Structure 1
Amino acid sequence: MDVIYNGLPSIISEVNWTPPNRFRADFPFLFATYGLLQGTDGVYFFALSGPSWQQVLSKFSIQTPVVMGQFPADALVYRLGLVQESQPVVEANLKLQDLFALKGAPVSQPINLDELRARDIPAGQTAQVQQLEAIDPLAHLVGKVQMNFVERDIPSRLADLSRYIDRNGSTVRSITGELLWDYGRGLVTVNAPKAQGVCGFLQKAGTVTLHDVTIASQIDYGTVLLVSLDGQPLRTSRKMLLQVMSEDTNYGWSAPGTGKRAIQNLGTAPINVRRFSGTVTFTRPDAGQLKVTPLDWNGYPAGKPSTGGKITLQPTVMYYLIER
């Protein structure tokens, strides 16, 4: 998660979900959505290894179906700002003299508010504190966390995070109301006017109901994301992209068992993608008039268009163009 310093631009210079790891479908989805929420100005996926798709998964795989294959919809979310950037929910003012004295910054451990101190933050408001000892790591999922280097003592500011972090329910809701991280069920949803979707353990989640679509998938772990292509809310958009992903692995990969275990075979080309399944149903009034065209991996039509508001995901189709 990113920290903004003195309100200046911030980038993440290198990131990857390195194999072996079958739970990589959330990678581009999370950086697009939470990168916007936190005010990150750039994310560098590490690392490109040539001018074409990779033939096998390696340590820093990017040019693969699970990662670069999801760039179309996720890049639109990020570049067009289809998720709101938040105002700071934590603003820590760090005096330079204290930093030079190696007193550190409050980024390494959860904040520990006892019942008495928790009452000091008015419900739904922001409190000022003279010294912020630590920042709750879950604050990054609520909104922007900012640290300022200052010359003089300036009180830090801390929002009432209890409105958004529910440790009993194992959920964190963003201050914008558009993102929900359910770490109890292993599920993240984006529910914004121009971008709606879900990533995580889809089959266990059952039916996921969002503002304009419902998603039900038998994919064990994956991502389903719908974005507007014409700048209009999904409720009225006349051109949309639906993107689906599960997991990929090398052909012949073998690591029998569960938990920590030996890899018997790293596998070889080609990279295999687990088949897709499920339905995406539009709830907008004109759903029955929507035209749905399956696309191939290069974005060209790959089948006969259909009409209707319920899309049955095809086993090998990652993209769908939806028009009105």
Structure 2
Amino acid sequence: MQRDQGVPQPRLLHIEADYSPAVSKTEPWVDLRSIRIDEYLQARSLAVKTQKAYRQDLQHFLRWTDKAWSAVTARQIAQFKTHLVRKEEGQRVLSDATVKRILGTMKAFYGWLWRCGYVDRDPTIEVQLPKLAEPEADNLSDEQVEKILAAVAGTKLCDRNLALFAVLQHGIRAEAATLLNVGDFDGQRLWVRQDKGGSKGVVPLDEEGVQKIQAYLGWRMSQGEVLLPESPLFVSASRRNRGARIGYDTIDKLVCQLRDITGIDFHAHQFRHTYATNLVLDGMNPYHVMTLTRHKSVQSFRRYTKAADQQAAEAAFYETKRRKRKTEPGSEQ
């Protein structure tokens, strides 16, 4: 039988095998525990600085152990507490306040893990937080405030800085002051819409505070700026960030400058302490003061009423002694 001439003859091809090793693509190592922290922070309405603080607190535990969140036991939480209160070279590494904050963050985080079903038990329930002494209000004296404000008036951007310190003098936190917009000032009061722990509220301003803010806004308009409700209330005048919203670092740098000028070792938050304490000492109902300062905890506000309570107790003591003397035989009626 004759083969079809149109069909080519088959040929065997020699194929050399490639024995070179395959290049493996190694994925970067990811600590899955951090993903839960990210999810926890995203689920809560927290300010940027508060989120950073929570993350730093939880990082203490991540550095201490590599156990998964669900594998941690109550005994290990107790051991972690012992680690936090350790001493090195005879001195505590962390203060009781820091240890309490870290353990409090752990408790809140594990409560969230349990509610979300990520763990079947909360190992932090039995851990006891350190007891702290009741904090004192860190007030500035009238003389110190007067000296600081005189120094503010001599700064380069005195209109802005005087208005800024007027806001701080009304008990508004520095971070919250940087987040205020022009529309938050209605000519008599400030509407605090973003603050620590979501403590929103309205703060009435005294006449001097209103005048300083109006003077600053008037100066900005005289420079040709068009002020809109959403415009930042306080803006930078630096070459790089001119017209942009100031941040906390601007206030911090200004405070450092004023410390050097006045010789007073103070921080911006002391104006909030001074505001609350003075209102209570002047006889304002503490409940109303709490409304203005937007405190959510009576315990944390207690520091501001202690001075007024002491003053009232001393007055009652002397009044009691005076009445007793009047009732004694031979005393003048």
TM-score normalised to the size of structure 2?
0.23
TM-score normalised to the size of structure 1?
0.23
Higher percent of residues as helix: 2
The structure number with the bigger radius of gyration is: 2
Higher percent of residues as strand: 1
